Each structure stands twice: as C-alpha cells, then as structure tokens.
Amino acid sequence: MTRRDPIAIVGGGFAGTSLLRHLIDHTDHEVVLIDPLERPGAGPAYRTTDERHLLNSRASAMSVDACDPGHFVSWLGARGGYSGDFAPRKWYGEYLCEALEQTLDRADGRVRVRTASVTDVVPGAEAVRVSLDDGSSVIASHAVLTLGNSASAGPTGPDHDRYVRDPWRSGVLDGLTTPGRVLLIGTGLTAVDVAISLADRAETVTAVSGHGLLPLRHSATVGVPTTKLPPVPTTLRAAVRAVREWTAAPHDWREVMDVLRHHANDAWVSWSDQDRQSFIEHYARWWEVHRHRMAPRVAATIAALRADGRLSVRADRVRAVTENGPALTVDFASGASVDADTVVNCTGPSRLPRGANPLVRRLLADGRVRVDSHGLGLDVAPCAGAVDATGRRHERLSVLGALRRGALWETTAVPEIRAQAYDLASRFAT
C-alpha cells in the first residue's frame, strides 16, 4: 500500500475512530480520516456538556478497541477512576477524542486527517475518488462510510426559535434559559436526557410517543451472566414465544436480554422479510425499551420528576407543530391539541431515504448505493460491502455501523460496532 492509495474513512465518530485504531494496529495501510470537526472522535451525543447525561451501558462494555475490552475502564482509572458503572457521556466523548489522538501519535505518519465534509464517493475498478467540500479530492484504494445514525424522524415543525429540531446541536439546550411548558416528541433515551437538562428550568415537561414507553432500568449491580440460550428460532412467531419463556421467572429478564443481543443478528438474518417487517411494526419499540436501558441513577431521577409532577408521559402521536404567536401548538393523532412554549424533537433516526444526509442522498440518487428493503439503512452485503441500485456489491466501498441496520438489527451499540471495525480491518490485512 502506497501513500497515493490509502483507505479513506468517511466520518470520525466512534465507528471511524474504532476502525482507524484497528487499521493502524493490524494492517500496514495508509489511512485518510475525513470529518468536518476540528477535533473528531466523538459523535453528537457524546459531545454533551451536561454531566448528568450518563452512558446507558456500563464502562466495562464501552472500550473503543475490540482487542482491549478494558481500555475505557483503564482510561477512567488513570484519571482518578469513577465510583459508578455508568460514566458521564461527556467523559466518554473526551475518551474517544483522546483515543483517536493517541492513535494518530503512534501511527508513524500513516494517517492524514482532512477537516472537510465529503460531497461524493465514486468507486471505480481500481480506486475510489472521495470528493470534499473544499474542492479537493482523495484517491483511495477503498472507502468506508462510518457516518453514524440518519437524521431524526418527527414532524418538520415551524421555523421557530422554540422548536428544537436537534437537541444535540452545540449549546441549544443551554440557550433555553426559560423553556416554560416543554413538550418532548419521543420517549426514548434522548427524551430522558433532555428532560433531565430542562426540568429544573421548565414549568412542566411532557414526553409523548405512540406507545408512551420509557426505557427500562438497568439493575443496580452487575453479575456474571448465567443464562444460556439455545439459538433463536428462525420464525418471528416462534422467537416471540421463546423469549416469553426465557424471560419468565426465575430468570432475570435483564440478563436474558443481555445474552439475547448476541443472538439477535443471527435471528434477524434467518427471518423472512415479512417476519422482519412484522417485528419492526409490532415488537421493535418493546425491544428497544428492554434492550437500551437507563442507568440506575438516571432512572431514579426520572422517577422523582414523575412523582412530583414535573414530568409526565403521554401515549399519542404528534401530527403537526404550528406557530401560535410566541407559543407553539401541538396537534395529536387522537384529535387533542396542547400549547407549549418549547418543543424538542427527541425522536430517533428516521428511515431512509428521508433521513439521509446530503452525501447518502447523493449516493442514492446516483444509484451507487440503495436502501435496504425496510428503509432502516443501506443495503449491505455480509462482508460489509455496499450494494448499488442494480444489486451489485461494491468491492471498494464498505459500510460500518448504524447504516447497516437493515442487514444487522444490532449494529448501533459500541460492542457490535467495534467488532465490525475489527472484522473489516482484518479483511484489509489479508
């Protein structure tokens, strides 16, 4: 591999940082890391400044390095340690930035970092051209899209300074000094964090989603998993029946879920397209609230806010958000409507192509990639190669992380993404 033909990593968040680390440690490739941030490493959710925002996984699960699972715990220990299992996400963002910088320091000149946005990726027979928004381009032997989640779903809403489309935009929550009556669209982990940030300043906070389900709570202590599960059945109906049996007493459902996540992708691949669609429609939200849980301290805070009436949860769907003088009116599918002083979009990633960023939108328009059959992500082959509009797998363009959601149900959390990064780097090493 020469400096003229490096591997290009498009995106410098967790997935890009993990892949870079594994490429430097396990291959002799040159690498170009491309990201618009001056200091890449941490994705939007890890750039929070509120130390009450905690990781929703224990520190022992959060290493950036698949070959060194204790790396994050060691990083915490070197900085005075942390008495709890669930560290502040702000700290984790600092950890990722430092992990990337340390990788650059020991890369012996094999890495170039380009601070730019990618506008196009054109794979060819011999190389890939990656075009940047400064007018330049990078020629690489291979490009990997590590772009993170698609944009949030939810109503578009008015162009109003009290309608917050992206709660992770830098400083946006700090700027809401008098949020008044707050309505959060969504009841997942993002809504939990925003409620914690705004509750002390707000008159009331209401979180709304179709199911009205909040994430469940992690156990206060962690033990060695003892539950052993057989393979998940290859039909959805049988799988649902099996999970109900496995999570019945005397089993701890949390332990079952933690074991089951390691079987989830094999089950997803084995199910029919119809079963996968049925799961998305009827069971996905229940999976999410059991699988992606709140840290115990966060759950206690949320319970206290609900107990004293500062936070309420509503099951309904938001149809529209419209401007009403200095306030906003929120119309629900049930026919009800409420006025709010501040509305925050806390919905999760929307399906493609709706949630595509400008680069993915262009790749889709040009037929260089295509959406998977459920719109969860891009169509990706088992080897991580992107699939184009004709069904052909690219040899020189790969996808890593959240955009593989259609092919792999569990592809958004740290353990799964770092394993993908290691596997992809191993392929490049051969």
How many Å is the Cα radius of gyration of the chain?
22
Confirm whether 158 is domain-assigned.
Answer: no
Cα 148–381–18 angle (5° rounding)? 35
Reading the block at residue 303, the tokens are 């319970």
Bridge partners for 118 per DSSP: 132
- Average pLDDT estimate for 55-74: 95
Helical packing angle, 253-270 and 284-291, nearest 10°: 140
Q: Which helix (H) or strand (E) holds 312?
A: strand 311-315
Q: CA-CA distance, 219 to 221, in Å (whole number)? A: 5
3-17, 87-101, 174-188, 303-317, range with the lowest pLDDT: 3-17
Whether the per-residue pLDDT at 8 is higher than 70: the answer is: yes
The residue segments making up the domain with residue 259 are 236-291
Domain contains 221: no
Residue 223 or residue 389, greater confidence = 389
| The pLDDT of residue 97 is above 80 | yes
Q: What is the H or E stretch that residue 327 is in?
A: strand 327-332
Mean pLDDT (the chain) is 93
Q: Do 285 and 303 share a structural domain?
A: no
**What CATH code is carried by the domain that includes residue 416?**
3.50.50.60
Mean pLDDT of 221-236: 79
Residues 82, 13 within the same domain: yes
Neighbours of 154 (CB within 10 A): 18
Residue 198, classed as helix, strand or coil, is: helix
Question: Considering its fold, how many domains does the chain have in total?
Answer: 3
pLDDT tens digit sequence for 307-342: 999 999 999 999 999 999 889 999 999 999 999 999
Return the structure tokens found at 152.
């949030």
Q: Check whether residue 198 and residue 335 sit in a common domain.
A: yes
In a domain, 224, yes or no: no
Residue 416, pLDDT above cutoff 50: yes
Q: Is pLDDT above 90 for 251?
A: no
d(CA 11, CA 115): 10
Lowest mean pLDDT among 39-43, 77-81, 284-288: 77-81
pLDDT band of 1, cuts 50, 70, 90: very low
